[in-house]
Amino acid sequence: MEIINFAETPSLVSRYMMEMRDTTIQSDPLRFRTNLDRIGQIMAYEISRRLEYKDVNITTPLGSCTCQDIADKVVLATILRAGLPFHHGFLNYFDRAENAFVSAYRKYKEKGDSFDVLIEYLASPSIEGKTLILVDPMLATGSSMELAYKALLSKGTPAKIHIASVIASSQSVNYVREHFPEDTTLWVGAIDAEVNAHSYIVPGLGDAGDLAYGEKE
């Protein structure tokens, strides 16, 4: 599995990551969603450089020319709800992509910090033979991403898989490496070392869904 870690090469992603982690800036949910969107756009551009292209002949007001268009059929998938602004950033660039949505949530057990991840909703086109871009801002343990992927496999087998996250833990990177096809490409804004007892990434940035849309009960 190839891993592209944007933190290894400082860029605008570094700036947006800093703002998303900073508690003094996190109080502005619009800013938080905008930064998720921005990072999504940057990652989308980088992923676009890995796709297949085809020549297309077009007519201009003054003649004709040969241009290039994406040959891959792209399906852009996200895990609700935190993934929505991140997904939107990708969709701004892959504006002709088909879209898929999966709900995954933690169902905590009565005692302790243990929980099960449950999938309740799936809306997806066929992904058979297509390029699947699966996006979720936080990749803490990797189990939600795996369950979302397995749910999507009910719609076919993709030809290529790209996973994109803003922050991943070292644990989740190893988990994805073990549970996804070998040729999967993982794109991350940063990789943090730890996951705490609640399975949140440390230092991370907190609960991305709450920061983007408000706290839930």
Q: What is the 3-state composition of the chain as percent helix, strand, coil, each rounded to the nearest 5?
A: 35, 35, 30
Asked if the structure places residue 66 within a domain, the reply is: no
Which helix (H) or strand (E) segment is 130 a member of?
A: none
- The stretches of 22-164 forming alpha helices (DSSP H) are 23-26, 29-48, 83-93, 143-152
Asked if the structure places residue 64 within a domain, the reply is: no
d(CA 119, CA 103): 6
Bridge pairing between strands 131-135 and 98-108: unpaired
Which helix (H) or strand (E) segment is 175 a member of?
A: helix 170-179
Burial class (CB in 10 A: 0-12, 13-18, 19+), 167: buried
* Distance spanning both ends of the chain, measured CA to CA: 37
3-state secondary structure of 28: coil
pLDDT value, residue 113: 63
Each of the 217 residues of the chain gets a pLDDT tens digit; together they read 999 999 999 999 999 999 999 999 999 999 999 999 999 999 999 999 999 999 999 999 999 999 999 999 999 999 988 899 999 999 999 999 999 999 876 666 666 666 666 788 899 999 999 999 999 999 999 988 999 999 999 999 999 999 999 999 999 999 999 999 999 999 999 999 999 988 899 999 999 999 999 987 7
What is the model's pTM?
0.92
> DSSP string covering 111-148, please?
SSS-EEEEEEEEE----TTSEEEEE-SEESSSHHHHHH
Q: What's the maximum distance between 2 C-alpha atoms anywhere in the chain?
A: 72
CATH number of the domain bearing residue 21: 3.40.50.2020
Two structure tokens written together for 91? 């969709």
Asked if the structure places residue 203 within a domain, the reply is: yes
Contact 92, 34 (CB under 8 A): no
Range of the domain at 187: 2-50+73-213
Two structure tokens written together for 94? 């892959």
CA 135 to chain centroid, in Å, comes to 2
d(CA 32, CA 172): 23
Residues recorded for the chain: 217
- Other Cβ atoms within 10 Å of 88 Cβ, number: 17
pLDDT value, residue 3: 98
- Number of domains present in the structure of the chain: 1
pLDDT value, residue 115: 63
Asked if the structure places residue 205 within a domain, the reply is: yes
Two structure tokens written together for 141? 């343990």
Two structure tokens written together for 188? 């991350």
3-state secondary structure of 9: coil
